[in-house]
Chains A and B, each alone.
Chain A
Amino acid sequence: MTPAFLSIRDLRQTYGSFVAVDDVSLEIPEGEFLTFLGPSGSGKSTTLYALAGFNEPTSGDILLKGASILATPSHKRNIGMVFQRYTLFPHLNVRENVAFPLRVRGQAEREIAARVDQMLALVQLDAFADRMPGNLSGGQQQRVALARALAYDPPVLLMDEPLSALDKKLREEIQIEIRRIHRETGVTILYVTHDQEEALRLSDRIAVFNRGRIEQVGSGRDLYHNPATRFVAGFIGDSNFLDTAEVAVSGDRGRVVFPDGTAMGDLPVHRSAPGGGATAAQVMVRPQSLRLAAAGLPVRVLDVTFLGDTSTVQFRTGWGQEIWMRAGAEEIAGLSPDATAHLGWTAGESHLFV
Chain B
Amino acid sequence: MAANASVPRRQRRGFGPAVPALVLLALFFVIPVVSLLLRSILEPEFGLQNYAELFATSTYARVLYNTFLVAFVVTAVSLLLGYPVAWLLAIMPQRYANLVLAIILVSMWTNLLARTYAWMVLLQRTGLINTTLMKLGLISEPLALVKNLTGVTIGMTYIMLPFIILPLYASIRAIDPTTLQAAALCGAGRWQAFRRVLLPLSAPGAAAGGLMVFVMSLGYFVTPALLGSASQMMLAEMIAQLVQSLLNWGLGSAAAFILLTVTLALYAVQIRFFGGMR
Tell me whether A104 and B188 are in contact (CB under 8 A): yes
Name which residue of chain B comes closest to A100, CB basis: B186
Q: Which of B172-212 touch A at CB < 8 Å? A: 176, 178-179, 181-189, 192-193, 196-197, 200-201
A78: chain B residues within 8 A (beta carbon): 187
Given contacts A83-B178, A100-B196, contact A152 B187 (CB under 8 A): yes
Given contacts A85-B176, A89-B197, contact A101 B187 (CB under 8 A): yes
Tell me whether B196 and A83 are in contact (CB under 8 A): no
Q: What is the total number of residues of chain A having a CB less than 8 Å from a CB of chain B?
A: 27
A202: chain B residues within 8 A (beta carbon): none
C-alpha spacing A85/B178, complex, angstroms:
8
Report A98 CB to chain B, min CB distance, Å. 10
What 1/0 mask marks residues of chain A from 70 to 84 whose CB sits below 8 Å from any chain B CB? Answer: 000111111111010
What 1/0 mask marks residues of chain A from 8 to 49 whose CB sits below 8 Å from any chain B CB? Answer: 000000000000000000000000000000000000000000
Given contacts A75-B187, A104-B192, contact A83 B182 (CB under 8 A): yes
Tell me whether A74 and B196 are in contact (CB under 8 A): no
Report A287 CB to chain B, min CB distance, Å. 40
Q: Does A87 contact B (CB under 8 A)?
A: yes
A53: chain B residues within 8 A (beta carbon): 184-185
Tell me whether A87 and B176 are in contact (CB under 8 A): yes
Tell me whether B187 and A89 are in contact (CB under 8 A): no
Tell me whether A79 and B197 are in contact (CB under 8 A): no
Tell me whether B182 and A81 are in contact (CB under 8 A): yes
Q: Does A286 contact B (CB under 8 A)?
A: no
Report B96 CB to chain A, min CB distance, Å. 19
What 1/0 mask marks residues of chain A from 53 to 76 whose CB sits below 8 Å from any chain B CB? Answer: 110000000000000000001111
Tell me whether B187 and A91 are in contact (CB under 8 A): no
C-alpha spacing A318/B185, complex, angstroms:
58
Tell me whether A104 and B176 are in contact (CB under 8 A): no
Report B26 CB to chain A, min CB distance, Å. 40
Report B150 CB to chain A, min CB distance, Å. 38
Name which residue of chain A comes closest to B193, CB basis: A75
C-alpha spacing A87/B182, complex, angstroms:
7
B187: chain A residues within 8 A (beta carbon): 75-76, 78, 101, 104-105, 152
C-alpha spacing A85/B179, complex, angstroms:
9
B182: chain A residues within 8 A (beta carbon): 81, 83, 87, 89, 145, 148
C-alpha spacing A90/B201, complex, angstroms:
8
Report B274 CB to chain A, min CB distance, Å. 12
Looking at the complex, which one of A75, A81, A145 makes contact with B188 (CB distance below 8 Å)? Answer: A75
Q: Does A52 contact B (CB under 8 A)?
A: yes
Tell me whether A74 and B200 are in contact (CB under 8 A): no
B185: chain A residues within 8 A (beta carbon): 52-53, 74-75, 77, 79-81, 149
Looking at the complex, which one of A54, A89, A101, A149 makes contact with B179 (CB distance below 8 Å)? Answer: A89
Q: Which of A245-304 touch B at CB < 8 Å? A: none
Given contacts A90-B201, A100-B196, A104-B192, contact A74 B184 (CB under 8 A): yes
Looking at the complex, which one of B186, B200, B201 makes contact with A101 (CB distance below 8 Å)? Answer: B186
Report B201 CB to chain A, min CB distance, Å. 6
Looking at the complex, which one of A73, A90, A148 makes contact with B186 (CB distance below 8 Å)? Answer: A148
Report A106 CB to chain B, min CB distance, Å. 10
C-alpha spacing A91/B178, complex, angstroms:
15
Tell me whether A87 and B181 are in contact (CB under 8 A): yes
C-alpha spacing A50/B185, complex, angstroms:
12
| Interchain Cβ contacts under 8 Å between A and B, 6 examples | A52-B185, A76-B189, A80-B185, A83-B181, A100-B188, A104-B196
**Beyond known contacts A91-B201, A100-B188: 15 more, CB 8 A cutoff:** A52-B185, A54-B181, A73-B184, A75-B186, A75-B187, A76-B187, A83-B182, A87-B176, A89-B196, A89-B201, A91-B200, A100-B183, A100-B186, A101-B188, A152-B187
